[in-house]
Amino acid sequence: MSQVVGRFAPSPSGRMHLGNLLCSLLAWLSARSAGGRVVLRIEDLDAMRCPRTFADLLEQDLSWLGLDWDEGGSKGGPHGPYYQSERSEIYNLYYQRLVERGLVYPCFCSRGQLHAASAPHRSDGQVVYPGTCRNLTARQVAEAAKRRPPAWRLRLPEDLTLSFTDGHMGPVTENLPADCGDFVLRRADGVFAYQLAVVVDDALMGVTQVVRGGDLLSSTPRQLWLYQLLDLPAPTFCHLPLLLAPDGRRLSKRDGDQSLENLQARFTPEQIIGKLAYAAGLRSTPDPVRAADLVADFSWDKVPRQDICLPDGLF
Ligand SMILES: [Zn+2]
């Protein structure tokens, strides 16, 4: 069997917080417990929102926690560059393959039109694209292009059901046209969409195992379709439960006390890892522990599938 390659793929728009700390810990444990390698890719597609200083801090934070990686980030390696903001030429190569096959069309819908009250919504709150711009004539496109630059969408087949088994969450099935609709590959500002970038990156970087937050579970069928269209090898996926505040609210960057900057002032790396491992079901007590000492006993079976509510007073 070929070697497991896992990855960290953080978006450095701020300091790490508990949610992405847990994700990094589990991604690292999942790869290392299988004797695998780890790649660090910086997901700074929105380069303006992700200054390099945050990416550098993120590397320091991962190292401080004892989560190491074999290639990527400022360390470089054979599959670089490892910053998405430097990879648009690579994304364009794959994007053009889809363009050449007639699978990409311009969409001139405004945000307001897309989010109109009549628009069908997915369970995750996203809008199902109704195909408004799917069959515009060349003349209509030329007219609309005078008013605004278009986003570029992938034309899906009329009927397309994708199923896969998530390594942690189990079987997932989605009918892409009905549940999502034609999705954006390139934004109106020219930036390639996350869906395309993540597929190209994971495939070219040899990633075999994607561990990430459960909020991305619903985007996986879109990515699997892109893997098929581009004839790229798809990785396996393990999606994590959400980490919730003690009162059941979703943790976010706005929870300033949960940012690593604040946690570092109060705890050692071993204390933070110990508390996270306890919250995630990996240990029976929140005692301090090194990440490396969790590798031998790691198992996805210990991690709950339902949302994890942080015990009151743990952090
Ligand atoms: Zn449109």
pLDDT band at 254 (very low <50, low <70, confident <90, very high): low
The answer to whether the bond into 311 is cis (omega within 30° of 0) is no
pLDDT of amino acid 157: 97
How far is the C-alpha of 218 from the C-alpha of 173, rounded, in Å? 10
Q: Ligand 1: distance of its center to the CA of 294 in Å?
A: 49
Of the ranges 38-42, 48-52, 101-105, which one carries the lowest mean pLDDT score? 48-52
For the cut 60, the answer to whether the pLDDT of residue 1 exceeds it is: no
CATH architecture, domain defined by 103-194: Alpha-Beta Complex (3.90)
Laid out side by side, the sheet with 104-107 consists of 104-107, 151-154, 184-186
Of the ranges 2-6, 48-52, 119-123, 128-132, which one carries the lowest mean pLDDT score? 119-123
Identity of the residue numbered 97 = R
pLDDT band at 117 (very low <50, low <70, confident <90, very high): low
Q: Ligand 1: distance of its center to the CA of 87 in Å?
A: 27
225 CB neighbour count, 10 Å cutoff: 22
DSSP for residue 173: E
Which residue would you say has higher pLDDT here, 70 or 261? 70
- The whole-number average pLDDT for the span 26-30 is 98
- The whole-number average pLDDT for the span 257-270 is 90
pLDDT band at 115 (very low <50, low <70, confident <90, very high): confident
Q: Ligand 1: distance of its center to the CA of 240 in Å?
A: 33
Phi, psi of 65 (to 5 degrees): -80, -10
Residue with tokens 């004539």: 137
pLDDT of amino acid 252: 65
For the cut 90, the answer to whether the pLDDT of residue 226 exceeds it is: yes
First to last CA, the chain: 40
pLDDT of amino acid 253: 60
Residue with tokens 């994700």: 23
For the cut 80, the answer to whether the pLDDT of residue 184 exceeds it is: yes
Residue with tokens 């390696």: 77
The closest alpha carbon to 46, from 12, 16, 92, belongs to 12
- Which residues are CB-neighbours of 255 under 8 A, at least 6 positions away? 17, 18, 245
Which residue would you say has higher pLDDT here, 20 or 239? 239
For the cut 90, the answer to whether the pLDDT of residue 278 exceeds it is: yes
Four-way CATH pick for 5-86+241-309: 3.30.1330.40, 3.40.50.620, 3.40.50.300, 3.40.50.150:
3.40.50.620
**What residue spans define the domains of the chain?**
5-86+241-309, 103-194
Q: Ligand 1: distance of its center to the CA of 106 in Å?
A: 7
pLDDT of amino acid 275: 97
Averaged confidence pLDDT in the chain: 93
Identity of the residue numbered 243 = L
Q: Ligand 1: distance of its center to the CA of 302 in Å?
A: 44
pLDDT of amino acid 258: 79
How far is the C-alpha of 186 from the C-alpha of 282, rounded, in Å? 40
Q: Ligand 1: distance of its center to the CA of 107 in Å?
A: 4
Q: Ligand 1: distance of its center to the CA of 132 in Å?
A: 5
pLDDT by residue (tens digit) across 187-208?
999 999 999 999 999 999 999 9
Fold match between 5-86+241-309 and 103-194? no
Q: Ligand 1: distance of its center to the CA of 104 in Å?
A: 12
Q: Ligand 1: distance of its center to the CA of 161 in Å?
A: 23
Residues with active-site annotation:
253
Q: Ligand 1: distance of its center to the CA of 182 in Å?
A: 9
